Amino acid sequence: MISTVEHPELTVCKVGTNLDNLLEQPEGQRILSCIQCGTCAGTCPYGDYMEYSPRKIIAMLRRGMIDEVLQTDSMLKCVACYSCMIKCPRGIKLSDVLLPLVKEQTLIRVKEMPAELQHSLQNTLRYGNPMGESSRKRAAWITKSKAPVPILAEIKRPVDVLWFVECYTSFYNRGQDNSCAVAKLFNALGIDFAILGNEEKCAGDCGQLTWESGLFETLTDYNMVIFKKYKFNKIVTGDPHAFNAFRIRYPMYGFDYDVWHTTPFLAEYVDKLKPKLKKPLNITVTYHDSCCIGRRAGFYDEGRALLKAIPGVKIVEMVHNRMNSICCGGGGGGMWLDTYFKQKNMERLSERRVKEAIATGADVLAVSCPYEIYRFEDALKTIPHEKPMVVRDVVELLAESLVEE
């Protein structure tokens, strides 16, 4: 279990930190301990495309030359994969502290904001989701679910689990399949849960990691007010980015709820779930470790444990797995920078990852992040492969194998 209250090491710089006062903060002072080993630059998936790598950015900051970095677009290429942070021998929290601050100032100075990114941020501010969909449609996916999905405002009672559905899994058809699978599993396990329905808005993590701090604080303020309206014991979300925001950033604004991602949450019920998984799938699966629940939270075994519980599933590993997994490229605002990256002649990380998945000979590329579904499905359209491959979330495979009595 990961609880924001029980893990003080998740503390980051306080609200109001900027590049001018960063080195005065405890986490900022740790930057001064950098030994310039270059591990961060070497492990960065887009390091070769950056004019200033993370190692150089630290050196420039310490020499008072950060303005030179801000004149480039180096930080727009950071996809917040946490690889530099998890492998730093000095424990410097680059992805949590320094790089987002640099990205914020870069975006302020950039001559022209990448159109897709700007559009998504504007939509999130106006509609509470990056797709620009009406909030009145957020709970419409429930009509597709064969399992009941209670809404807190309608049932008017405390619940054990507040299921924070998030945007993609509320509005997009492919994401709604994921939500229907979670609803089926929760009901089969007897989980006492409910959702916020149309009251829910984006958790704001991608706004935070592009360091649109005003947008993030607007969403945080709204969500905290909504949370306080209801009584529940824990929050569960299938979105690793929302999970990331809740356990790392929200505590700075008074958030003190127990928060789970659906994969480790369901792994706690694997013994109860396994007897219900009666339909053999007879597939070979390769599992992609999400950056937010893998490198950032340390959940590597839980997704694999759930897959192993499904009859007829064989797991094969990609070359880069667990801590060394290749990012899908969607973090840090990367979900809305594909066109920008293409203009820069940069290989999409989703395509790089899919090539590894194809090489395993697996039938299914399994993920624990609904955003990765459409990123990898899109990548599969552009990468030649003879054997068919599909992308499925772990919860979708579980729901497919589940036979209700």
> In order of start, what are the domains of the chain with their CATH numbers?
9-109 (1.10.1060.10), 115-267 (no CATH), 274-401 (3.40.50)
CB 259 within 8 Å of CB 216 = no
DSSP codes joined into one string, 145-186: -SS---BHHHH-S-EEEEEE--SHHHHSHHHHHHHHHHHHHH
- Identify the residue with better confidence: 143 or 27: 143
pLDDT at 7: 37
**Residue 230 pLDDT exceeds 80:** yes
Highest mean pLDDT, choosing among 49-58, 93-102, 376-385: 376-385
Query: Residue 341: which pLDDT band, with cuts at 50, 70 and 90?
Result: confident
**Residue 14 pLDDT exceeds 60:** no
**Residue 47 pLDDT exceeds 70:** yes
**Residue 115 pLDDT exceeds 60:** yes
Distances in Å between the Cα of 164 and the Cα atoms of 3, 139, 202 are 16, 11, 9
- Identify the residue with better confidence: 207 or 147: 147
**Residue 405 pLDDT exceeds 70:** no
Report the distance separating Cα 40 and Cα 309, nearest Å.
Answer: 36
**Residue 267 pLDDT exceeds 80:** yes
| Over residues 59-80, mean pLDDT | 82
pLDDT at 242: 94
| Range scoring the smallest mean pLDDT among 146-150, 282-286, 355-359, 401-405 | 401-405
Report the distance separating Cα 380 and Cα 377, nearest Å.
Answer: 5
Query: Residue 337: which pLDDT band, with cuts at 50, 70 and 90?
Result: confident
| Over residues 321-343, mean pLDDT | 88
pLDDT at 99: 74
Whole-prediction pTM: 0.90
Report the distance separating Cα 113 and Cα 301, nearest Å.
Answer: 39
pLDDT at 5: 30
Report the distance separating Cα 190 and Cα 168, nearest Å.
Answer: 25
pLDDT at 26: 66
pLDDT at 211: 61
| Over residues 24-46, mean pLDDT | 83
